Structure 1
C-alpha cells in the first residue's frame, strides 16, 4: 500500500514538526497538528504562510506524545506492507521521530519502504497537472494534508500518464 506524506515544520535550522498529513492510495487520511512546538522557533515564512492554515481540522491538535500514539494506531490499521512516499527528506525524518516518540520505540512493522520522489517525476507534465489541480481556496499549499493529497494526486497522474504512453514502470 502506498502512503503519501507531507509535514510542516518550524524552519530549516531549528526543525521541529508542526503538522503532518498522510493519505493512503485508497483515500484513508491522517492529519495532526502539534500543540507543543515552539512558535519562537518558526521562520517568518512559516509564521506568514503555515500557521494561519492550522485549526482547519477538528480534533487535529495533540501533544508530541499523543501524536506518536495516534500515528502508531493509524499505521496499525493499514494493510502490510506500506511504502511511504514523500518529496522532501525531512518529511520522512520528522515522521520517524514522531513515530518513535520519547521512548524511541521501533518503527511500525508494516512500514517496509520509503520512496523520495525525484525531480524527474515532479517535473513530469502529468504529475504537475494533477498536483497543481489539487489545491483550492479551502485547501491551499503549505497545509500538510493538502500537500499530501496533492502529492498523491500528482503521483497517480504521473502513473496514469506513464502507463498510457506504454512506459515500463
Structure 2
C-alpha cells in the first residue's frame, strides 16, 4: 500500500506542524488532521494562504489526540506494507514527530512505515497538470489533503499510467 503525505508547517525552520494528510493509492483511505492550538506566530505566507484553508472543528486536535488518531489510522492499515511518499523531507520529519507524540510521552507503539521521497521531475511536473485540470483544487492549494491528492494523482499517472 502506498500512502501519499503532505504537511503544512508554520515556521521557516519547519518545526511547527499545522496540518497533515495521508491519501492511499486507491483514494479510499484518507487521513487529515490539524493541530490545536495553531502556532501563534506563523510566517506571513502561512497566515495568509494556509490558515484560511483550514477546516478546524472535528479536524483540529491537541497534540495527544492528533498523535493517537494518526497512529490509529496507520494501525487500521495493518497487513499492508506502508510505503509513504512525499515531495519534501520535512513532511517525513513532521510525520515522525507527530507519531512520536510531539516530543511528549504518548504511550503505545509507533506504527512502522517506509519513507520514499518523490523527486522525479515528471511526477512533480504532472502535479502541476493536476492543478491545471482541477481548478477547484488549485483554489485550495496548500491545504495538506489537496496537496497529498495532487501528489497521488501525479505519481499514479506517471508511474502507473492511470488517472483516477
Same fold (TM over 0.5): yes
Structure 1 residue ranges (4+ consecutive) displaced by more than 3 angstroms after TM superposition:
104-107, 121-124
Query: Number of aligned pairs?
Result: 157
Change in Cα spacing, 1:36 to 1:127, as seen in structure 2 (3 Å) is closer
1:53-132 map, 5 Å = 53-55=53-55, 59-78=58-77, 79-101=79-101, 102-103=104-105, 107-109=110-112, 111=113, 113-124=114-125, 126-130=126-130, 132=132
- Mapped partners of 1:31, 1:90: distance in 2: 17
Question: Which residue of the partner structure matches residue 35 of structure 1?
Answer: 36
Structure 1 counterpart SS, 2:136? coil
Change in Cα spacing, 1:47 to 1:65, as seen in structure 2 (3 Å) is same
Deviation at 1:14, TM superposition (A): 5.8
- Mapped partners of 2:72, 2:81: distance in 1: 15
* TM-score (structure 1 length as normaliser): 0.82
Deviation at 1:132, TM superposition (A): 4.1
- Structure showing greater Rg: 1
* TM-score (structure 2 length as normaliser): 0.84
Tell me if structure 1 keeps the 8 A contact 2:86–2:92: yes
Tell me if structure 2 keeps the 8 A contact 1:135–1:146: no
Structure 2 unaligned segments of length 5 or more: list them: none
1:2-17 map, 5 Å = 2-13=2-13, 15-17=15-17
